[in-house]
Amino acid sequence: NLPAKSSAIKNLCDTKRNSTTIDHRMYNAVHAYTTARQEIAILQSLHHPQIVELLGVVIHPLALVLELAPHGSLNSLLKTYRDKQDMLPVFAVKNVILQIASALSYLHSKGIIYRDLKSENVLVWSFPIPLTVKPDFHVDVRLADYGISRMSLPTGTKGFGGTPPFIAPEILQHVGKDIYTDKVDSFSFGMFIYELVTCQQPLWKESHVNNFICQGGRPKVTPEETECPSHFLDLMTLCWSQEAKDRPSMDDIIKLASCTEFCHFMDAVSLEAAVTVLASCIFFYGSSSESCAYDNIRDIGESYTQLWLSTHLADKNMLEIYTFYRNKCVESKFVKHLSVHALCSSDQHVWGLGNKQMVYVFSPESLLCIQQIMLTVEPVCSPLDIHYLEQSKKILTIFTDGTVIACEAEVSEHSLNLEEENEAVVHTLQLPRNTTFSSTVVETRHRCLLWRGTTDCMLEVFDITDLLDWQQKHDVKAMTVGHLADEKGQSVCYLLVTWSSALTNTDYVFSYNYPGSTVVRWNVHTHLQESTLDCESAVADIKRPKKKTCLVTAMNVVAGHLYVGTTLGIIVVAEALTMVPLAILQCHGTSEFYIKAIQPLQVDTGMMEVCTPASTVGIPRSAQSSRDQRGIITVGRGFVDPFRNFLEQLKRSSVPYLESGKLPDDMYKRHAFLISWIAEDWCNY
């Protein structure tokens, strides 16, 4: 006995005989018969998890017995989302794209062109309801209605069919009398993605849809709708290309949509030159009732982030400020030429450490240097780091010879003579001097600890709490912490990052020794190693240039995730607590440069450490975009764009002289880039 299945009846014949003439009934009967033959001929040979199964046929009245979709058509669900002023979750869009592309790829492998892809013909077995965010929710959609599908030869087929505006221009222009290929389904797929992104039918206001499509017209998206991952829009526009040869196949779509970057990439900004990035920091603007100074930020009360960069090009130094809103760059500005080697931000200002022991104080609102502080007239080595101490409201500067100088972080913007150095209370901390390559500060409830990375794989830890009380003199001894020795011999502690976990109520320091590929997590309280991450092993399956080693060039911890930049242009994403790799982002180039910095796009607090979908239930996705879609910015040379790589492959195949050669070098390899990412749900998509 076969197991019982819920079924749906698809009537093919008009049973209301009294309401039509005999000719009309005859026409309906013939149409129902031809439709039944068409669908049965196709469905009886198809077996795919994303294609609705044919269970049987009813002779009178003529009907097909199909699997029952418990939630009806996707079109009705999209209407529900639209009525709730909500948008499809990112994971749901990706799953629908992959499942329907898989079904169409299967059809194409059988020589079948579907010709009628739209949300009305996609049935739903499992799908998240509006106003909920559950990235692990199971999505199950299937392709139905094969009434106008067409078997085709390898060279293509003819015939008119489809629903405007989902019909490809090559069908419209020749009314189906010319040969076309399965790339017509790729065009429909672009319109289908538009439905998923906007939750509405494309070109529903256009009166002459077919002419509009033939002339190259396409639907428009609103600024709010562009807040989805940018690769969604890239795939959409690629699919609805005017020329069939420029569209991806279903296998191409599956490959593009399966990569990690597809759901996380938001924006890429070229610095328009092969500049060297010396330092970076962020300044976070929280919600405010006051009007925003940036025209591109639409809503009063929204938060946004400034990324400050110190750059160097052709013997010139520059400060560049990029403003990000909802994880996309909306504005860039430049400050006068200054040589700044380290940057940090306090509650109200941005601080820069320059040459000759000079500290510059900048206003994030006016972008002007409002104060200059001379730390000392005594000669010291090169500037290394600058830190803001939130509890004591002080600025801590570190130099490569181990000199540590602190100054007050309180700045008055009134009555400042910007042409001269301003007097400020500064104090050199009496710490042992040792060649220093990296530093970080850990502020606990009652203590302030300075961690310094030195030679011979060693870390030094100083409790500087009492030293910050400048009224008294204190002696401080360093606690030396061992590090993993490098197999090749001599190495230095090159990177240090601090993280405070709300889950374990513990502070941690992450360190990296150069040269090497291992990141170590230390417990601040016990000074013991607790876990390691071998980046070389994490990227072992990634193709790379010959003899290219995986060295670490940047680290940061954002919302409970450890982000590690490497010389391969790859970001390794791992859980900060377990050090288990979650994802690999291939984002920057590998030939010349490395990833210089990784910065958060939202303020990182203990409450943001773990994604809690239940806390966002009932909040429309449009309202969550800036609140819940945490982001990061990666800074490095080159930009690896999977969609551009696909276009390059098309160009090689269509331009003879490029078939065996390489494309000319361009800005995607030479320029420095800022790339913003959605930094959440790495396990789910």
Interval 445-458: pLDDT, tens: 888 999 999 887 78
Mean pLDDT of 25-43: 71
pLDDT in tens, 593-624: 578 999 999 876 544 444 333 333 333 333 34
H and E: helices and strands count for the chain = 13, 35
Which secondary-structure segment (H or E) carries 170?
Answer: helix 169-173
Q: What residues contact residue 377 under an 8 Å CB cut-off, 6+ apart?
A: 357
The total number of structural domains in the chain stands at 2
**Are 231 and 87 in a shared domain?**
yes
Residue 415 lies in a domain: no
Residue 678 lies in a domain: no
**Are 46 and 162 in a shared domain?**
no
The domain in which residue 57 lies consists of: 7-67
**Are 63 and 76 in a shared domain?**
no
pLDDT band at 652 (very low <50, low <70, confident <90, very high): low
Contact 258, 98 (CB under 8 A): yes
Q: Among 243, 258, 273, identify where a domain stops.
A: 258
Q: CATH code at 23?
A: 3.30.200.20
pLDDT band at 248 (very low <50, low <70, confident <90, very high): very high
**Are 44 and 132 in a shared domain?**
no
Residue 85 lies in a domain: yes
**Are 86 and 192 in a shared domain?**
yes
438 has a pLDDT exceeding 60: yes
pLDDT band at 154 (very low <50, low <70, confident <90, very high): low
- Return the higher-pLDDT residue of 622 and 288: 288
Residue 462 lies in a domain: no
Q: CATH code at 141?
A: 1.10.510.10
**Are 158 and 190 in a shared domain?**
yes
120: helix, coil or strand?
helix
Planar angle of CA 319, 367, 301, nearest 5 degrees: 120
pLDDT band at 207 (very low <50, low <70, confident <90, very high): confident
Residue 119 lies in a domain: yes
pLDDT in tens, 109-141: 988 889 889 999 999 999 998 876 677 789 999
Helix 230-239 × helix 250-258 angle, to 10°: 170
| pLDDT at residue 608, as a whole number | 45
Q: pTM here? A: 0.87
Planar angle of CA 674, 671, 548, nearest 5 degrees: 90
Q: Among 67, 84, 118, identify where a domain stops.
A: 67
Nearest to 81 by CA among 627, 620, 614, 626: 620
**Are 15 and 84 in a shared domain?**
no
**Are 61 and 195 in a shared domain?**
no
**Are 133 and 52 in a shared domain?**
no
Contact 331, 270 (CB under 8 A): no
Residue 537 lies in a domain: no
Question: Cα–Cα distance between 285 and 572 in angstroms, integer?
Answer: 28
Contact 397, 380 (CB under 8 A): no
**Are 168 and 43 in a shared domain?**
no
**Are 121 and 193 in a shared domain?**
yes
DSSP 15: -
Residue 195 lies in a domain: yes
**Cis status, amide bond into 130, omega within 30 of 0:** no
Residue given tokens 């400034």 in the structure block? 306
Residue 239 lies in a domain: yes
**Are 171 and 76 in a shared domain?**
yes
Q: Among 41, 67, 93, identify where a domain stops.
A: 67
